[in-house]
Amino acid sequence: MNILRLTALTALAVTPLPGQQVQLNGAGATFPNIIYQNWIITYNQKFDNVELNYQSIGSGGGIRQFSDKTVDFGGSDAPMTDSAIVAIQGNVLHIPTVLGAVVPTYNLPGFTGTFRFTPAILADIFLGKLTKWNDPRLAAANPGVTLPNTDILVVHRSDGSGTTYVWVDYLTKVSPEWAQKVGRGTSVNWPVGLGGRGNEGVAATVRQTPGAIGYVELGYALINKMAVGQVQNRAGNFITPTLESVTAAAEGAMADMGPTTDFRVSITNPGGAQAFPIASFTWLLVRKEYPDAVQARELVKFIWWSLTEGQAQAPRLGYAPLPKAMLPWVEARLKTVSAGGRAVWRGPAAQ
């Protein structure tokens, strides 16, 4: 009798009572906001016992509010640092949701093709070492075209952002000089250039300035029909940034991962013949241990729905879906989320 009663009480602890609505609040990265809002609206309509909210305040704000426990989950395009994780006693999981890319965009009047950039060229442009569009190195990467004798003006983000983190993470990998002088971060000390706030600020400056080059998120570039360049990948191929080549980047990087990864992994400059080299996951920040079992279980169920049914919306909204081969790894991680020391979710079959 006591065992039966204990079992019933345990089940009650992780099952919403009839009419009980579970509220889950999140905040963070702006890049995935479009698809997160799509998922939330659809999920709220499908499961009326759950009310989900997400505020698009930037990756830094998402990490801060998650760490301060003012939200139930966070969103970030840049993984939390080791020191930030230690500060919250390691109580975080990074769950990848979709993929994005950061692409070079430029304003080169009279040029009608697709510009090609090697890794070394991009690094040297943003280091201020390559200053003319008709430089012999640019001409060699773009044979058969006439390049103007125009100054190159670098445009970068003035605000801290996950977009910047992905861009400079790539430059750090492909340029020892960049790694030594500048490095990676959501904000860096830029050697040259003008700053613009957000994708909008960078895009506006590039559009208004002949000879300018900057970087924006792929989805933003596609929606706004901006000129974007091909980038040479690790296999030596010049790759057009597309949703398919971004997913290929994750598939190429999976060779360096494994089922036990914490998913705080950089996938810039991956292997893979068709991989676009400046790509990244965006992550949901989820606690390993929650105080409320009902909230935790409903959050994990929403995340799993997003990674399965919700992924179908990704291409339509300008995002690259996760490789399907990653799902078992993510599922195993979600099964570790607990409340009171007990797992809150056993997998889709147990919902």
pLDDT value for 256: 67
Fold of the domain spanning 21-100+280-350: D-Maltodextrin-Binding Protein; domain 2 (3.40.190)
Residues of the chain scoring pLDDT < 70: 1-20, 255-256, 258-260, 349-351
Phi then psi for residue 139, to 5 deg, are -65, -40
Taking each helix axis as running N to C, give the angle between helix 293-307 and helix 33-46, from 0 to 180 degrees, rounded to the nearest 10: 110
DSSP lists the bridge partners of residue 50 as 22
- With a CB cutoff of 8 Å and minimum separation 6, the contacts of 123 are 171, 174, 175, 177, 178
pLDDT value for 318: 81
pLDDT value for 1: 39
21-100+280-350 shares its CATH topology with 106-255: yes
Beta strand pairing call for 153-157 and 194-196:
parallel
DSSP lists the bridge partners of residue 294 as none
**Rounded CA gap, 199 and 103, in Å?**
11
Domain segments of the chain as ranges: 21-100+280-350, 106-255
**Rounded CA gap, 117 and 239, in Å?**
10
**Rounded CA gap, 114 and 239, in Å?**
11
- pLDDT, tens digit, for every residue of 100-156? 899 999 999 988 889 999 999 999 999 999 999 999 999 999 999 989 999 999 999
Q: Looking at domain 106-255, does it have CATH number 3.40.50.2300? A: no
pLDDT value for 230: 98
* Terminal Cα distance for the chain, rounded: 26
pLDDT value for 143: 94
pLDDT value for 262: 79
pLDDT value for 212: 98
**Which burial class, exposed, middle or buried, applies to 344 when counting CB atoms under 10 A from its CB (0-12, 13-18, 19+)?**
buried
**Rounded CA gap, 32 and 282, in Å?**
7
pLDDT value for 15: 47
